[in-house]
Structure 1
Amino acid sequence: MTDYAEPSVPVTGGAMPLLGFGTWQIDDADAPAAVSAALEAGYRHIDTATGYSNQRGVGKAIADSGLARDDVFVTTKLPPDNADRVRETIEESLEQLGLDHLDLWLVHWPPNGEARPDVWEQVVQARTDGLTRAVGVSNYSLAQIDELIQATGVTPAVNQIKWSPAEFDRAVADGLRERGVVLEGYSPFKASNLEDPTLVSIAQAHEVDTAQVIVAWHVAHEFVVIPKSSNPDRIRSNAAGATVTLSDDEVTQIDALGH
């Protein structure tokens, strides 16, 4: 087995592999097989959420893998509708996953579209209490992140947002980096045109496919990427993208596909 978990970026309490496995829209019944295939392919970072209703299946795969707890980076998320039951939600997630702590817990969306520093304080308290090593947000704007920092003094470790070459926005990427927030991208292929001539040309030069080029582009920028698939061959293929090294010129060409 090849381990694609490296490289990684530092987050509170450890290192976050740049390559992760997304589980959105994978049913609880299908999650054990999909996550097991990912772990066998070398992924060491698994992303789920309370809202995905598959935490038990994800947890079963992790338990059955035989891997040490510290060898798998596990993320789940607090639904915005659970803003009034923060502590109960993380405890439920840990019970369903069969874990005693998370590596990363995210606020999935701004509750009612608002930053809600009061909710963030409770999320940070879960970290203080050892229920998760790191805490962050998902789908937050830079202004909302600033509101959390100014109100609480605690910077989210991560902002997980929809991201791909087509959505590349240097102002967003630079803004997160300046604040010390790791950019984690989801749905990396969804907004991308996999037939784009630039991607096709670069893929041909490396003898890989365009999805692998997109994964490689994320890694080159040190953006965390969480491709999702239930197909074992595609799961392995996506992981191999993390081993492709793009030139600076190729990265610049791909950047130009965005804003």
Structure 2
Amino acid sequence: MHSITSHFQPDASGATPKQLDYLPNLKLSDGNEMPMLGYGLGTANFAKKGAPTDEINNSTVTAIKAGFYHLDGAESYGNEAELGAAIKKSDVDRTKLFVTTKTSCRRGETIEQAFSRSLQKLGLDYVDLYLIHSPFWAEKPEDLVAKWAEMEAIKESGRAKSIGVSNYLKEHLEVILAAKPKYPPVVNQIEYHPYLQHVTDGETGDLLEYLRTNNIAVEAYAPLTAITKAKGGPVDPIYAALAKKYGVTEGEVALRWCLDQGIVAVTTSSNEQRLHAFLSKVPSFKLTPKEVEDIAKAGRQKHYRGFWTNKFKEDDRR
């Protein structure tokens, strides 16, 4: 830990982190840093009818106190107010937290309107990362470019330290990058796990390769899908064997698989013991390159998409 490797910092290139006794931050292309393991307030933490709920508030406070300082929310989850209340209740210095929220690009509404509402609900002066939640609202390529220009204005204002996208495919990013933006997206948050690696044999190519070539960090949501929603596949025995080898859980192997590809992972749990274990166990071991590839190879034998299924054909692996 005292060699030059202790100063190594992963970035959007996808280089694997070195073996450290802590989880490093990933350096984004704009110079800002984000923790490589985040706590998500996604579908498992939807607020009922938009009303604050103690359950969401308390579970988020538990996550923060456990050491999850990377917090991932969105206006569509309906729980920005709960996230903001949890941040306040946790009493953790705001500067130690990395807070993300997302806009859904509602019809007839500007990014400024959406962002101002999100900040108000969060009770914050700024967020660390602001994302466009998906590209599927756009009716034509020009819509993507116009909205990105609005995102750049938010970045310019200083109220979002970094800006990026979520669920974007190569075709959507090509449109934005072709417009030569002053501030290109620094992150693409996508569903990513062994059964959805976004690898195809067609002209669309490999999404991860494209992101890394363009210095866009990969952030995975639903990284535990092979264990939770799609159990009973070819990855199962590999996860089990590696969990036994390293003395960890299969969930911790799944998270490590992402991290060892230089991919940020966002997960969730209301179990305090499990949250503490994620933060203590995941840094305690590292998969070998062969083990990473073994999981990837087995995963490509099965296809499973848990989100945005109405936007893709059943066999679409993009």
TM-score by length of 1: 0.92
**Kept after mapping to 2: 8 A contact 1:80/1:111:** no
RMSD: 1.9
**Kept after mapping to 2: 8 A contact 1:110/1:139:** yes
| Regions of 4+ moved over 4 Å | 191-195
Q: State the match for 1:202 in structure 2.
A: 242
Residue aligned with 1:81, SS: coil
What amino acid is aligned across from residue 155 of structure 1 in structure 2? P
Q: State the match for 2:159 in structure 1.
A: 131
Residue aligned with 1:6, SS: coil
**Kept after mapping to 2: 8 A contact 1:60/1:97:** yes
Q: Where does 1:82-93 land on structure 2 (aligned, <5 Å)?
A: 84-93=109-118
What amino acid is aligned across from residue 246 of structure 1 in structure 2? L
Distance in 1 between residues matched to 2:226 and 2:250, nearest whole Å: 13
Residue among 211, 235, 251 paired with 2:292? 251
Q: Where does 1:125-204 land on structure 2 (aligned, <5 Å)?
A: 125-153=153-181, 154-169=183-198, 171-192=206-227, 193=230, 196-204=236-244
Larger radius of gyration: 2
CA drift of 1:156 comes to: 0.6
Answer 1 or 2: which has greater helix percent. 1
Residue among 3, 6, 10 paired with 2:27? 10
Segments of 5+ residues of structure 1 without an aligned counterpart are none
Residue among 65, 72, 77 paired with 2:102? 77
TM-score by length of 2: 0.75
CA drift of 1:175 comes to: 1.2
What amino acid is aligned across from residue 25 of structure 2 in structure 1? S
Distance in 2 between residues matched to 1:212 and 1:87, nearest whole Å: 38
Percent identity, aligned pairs only, is 29
Cα distance change of structure 1 residues 241 and 252 upon mapping to structure 2, 3 Å threshold: farther
Cα distance change of structure 1 residues 140 and 57 upon mapping to structure 2, 3 Å threshold: same
Distance in 2 between residues matched to 1:58 and 1:5, nearest whole Å: 25
What amino acid is aligned across from residue 23 of structure 1 in structure 2? L
Segments of 5+ residues of structure 2 without an aligned counterpart are 1-20, 200-205, 301-318
What amino acid is aligned across from residue 157 of structure 1 in structure 2? V
**Kept after mapping to 1: 8 A contact 2:61/2:87:** yes
Q: State the match for 1:217 in structure 2.
A: 257
**Kept after mapping to 1: 8 A contact 2:105/2:111:** no
